[in-house]
Amino acid sequence: MWDIRNGEDFVEDWRDADSAEWRYLHESAATFNAAQDDLVAVPAIENTWYDGTGDINVFNTDWHVTARATEKGSVDGFGNAFGTGDMKYDGIVGYSCGVLRDALSAADVSTGSGRYAGGLVGIAGGATQRAATTGGSLTERAYAAGPVKATGNQSAGGISGYAYTGTTVRNNVALNPTVTATGWAHRIVARTLADGAPAVGNNLASELVVAATQNVGATAPESFNGTTITAAQAVDPATYTALGWDLETVWRWDTGLGRPVLRGPAAPAAAVLSPAGAGGIRHEAVANGDGTVTLAVSAGSAAADRQLSVLLLRGRSSTSAPDEDDIAYLGEVRLDGQGDATLTVLVPEPGKPALALNTSGDTTRYTASLLPKEPPTGTPAMTVLDDTVTATAKPHGNAPAQVTITLVCAGEATCQDQVVISHGGGAQLDARKVTLQPGRTRDLKVDLAGR
């Protein structure tokens, strides 16, 4: 997530010309709300979610935008970017030199003397400061639905209060009830410099939008007022899809509001579901002599090319609700075309950590000791013969002893097979038929008394 800080605090925390990475400074939402024009960069806003380098994705935020965004970034509103307060600059971005895309504002926007008012963007700017990238901003596939007002002989626009040459404002819809100013007021872009030529095109404005103090009265796709649509067209999904809006995955139609709203964050990558394949999830691990363990996991062919979560826990930590200090390793591994993967991890105490796989969401997880436990000397060892599970039991005097073995079904073809248990030199202790669900576990109690 990108954060903000007063301009005097910026030192060398911006990327160089050849770097694809940003370094971030952290500051609270309160600072963002209070700093106003002292803020000179907004490569992020508190309470947002982030999905890639160079993007700010606004999700369920309710804040007063009073800052200048003079660093190049982008706002992709894959969430409900609503402004609901009395805004002092604009609905979402004060000064944009990046990309504002797929976003909306229902804010009441008003400015004092010396400020431009825009339903979405205060100023659609050009050159950047201290950042390595240059060029004009882009505002597209967004709408504003709140009133916009500028005072002190300044200008107001339903979408943007000002647009420099080189900027682009396209495929937007103005649904503001009013756009008023003592200077210029237009339904899409308020104004530009003398002889300026921002790329304004294919924007729409409802016939119900009233823009007072017009300097350019024309209505057309390339005009500062956009093309007029009827009230019926403004509540028709086809109007928005014709502009290239994605009402299937990015937006959804709200019949109550009569306009599109954003769907929220994209769903995370699909987790490997259990059973992942004919063999369920299994693992083998080998301690290397340097404090690392090589782990081989198999989730079956149905899990091919998917992600599998890997969690290593210290000692006897809970695999369902571990504390932060319990986690020795946490990551994901990409399974190959057969649903297999191998990785080497550094563990603090080889042999002791517990392993949990497939821990994402509500899927059935696989848990086991990372490395097989060596049976203590002089105690009987018990093994399920297909090498699925190894367990140990220690009798106490002449008292009856039992051991609980956790069995893992090796696949649908073998789930009804007999489980044969042996100890010592291979003498059979018990044989029985059990029913297991593929990919699930079952505890089997074995009576050792008299054996």
Q: When comparing pLDDT for 185 and 30, which is higher?
A: 185
CA dist list (Å): 206 to 70, 201, 222? 31, 16, 16
Tokens of 325: 């200090």
Residues 6+ apart with CB under 8 A from 427: none
Delimiting residues of CATH 2.160.20 domain(s) in the chain:
7-262
Average pLDDT over residues 334-358: 76
> Is the pLDDT at 429 greater than 90, yes or no?
no
pLDDT at 233: 95
List of E strands, 112-176 = 117-118, 121-124, 138-144, 148-150, 156-157, 168-170, 173-174
What is the pTM (predicted TM-score) of this model? 0.45
Average pLDDT, the chain: 63
DSSP 8-state secondary structure symbol assigned to residue 237 = H
Read off the tokens for 395: 């009798």
The DSSP output letter for 414 is: G
Answer yes or no: are the C-beta atoms of 48 and 5 closer than 8 Å.
no
Length of the chain counted residue by residue: 451
**pLDDT score for 253:** 92
Four-point Cα dihedral 162, 164, 168, 171, nearest 10: 20
pLDDT tens, position by position, 189-234: 888 876 677 888 899 999 988 877 666 667 766 788 899 999 999 9
User: Considering the domain 7-262 in this protein, what is its CATH number?
Assistant: 2.160.20
Residue limits of CATH 2.60.40.2150 in the chain: 282-369
Quick check: 181 and 190 in contact, CB under 8 A?
yes
Whole-number pLDDT of residue 28: 34
pLDDT at residue 332 in the model:
77
Residue 78 has pLDDT above 80, yes or no: no
pLDDT score recorded for residue 184: 84
Q: What is the CATH number of domain 282-369?
A: 2.60.40.2150
What is the tens place of the pLDDT at every residue in 133-189? 345 678 889 998 888 888 877 888 889 888 877 788 899 999 998 998 888 888 998
Q: Are 276 and 358 in contact (CB under 8 A)?
A: yes
CA distance 261 to 103: 9
What average pLDDT does this structure show over 118-144? 65
For 37, counting Cβ atoms within 10 Å of its Cβ (0-12 exposed, 13-18 middle, 19+ buried), the class is middle
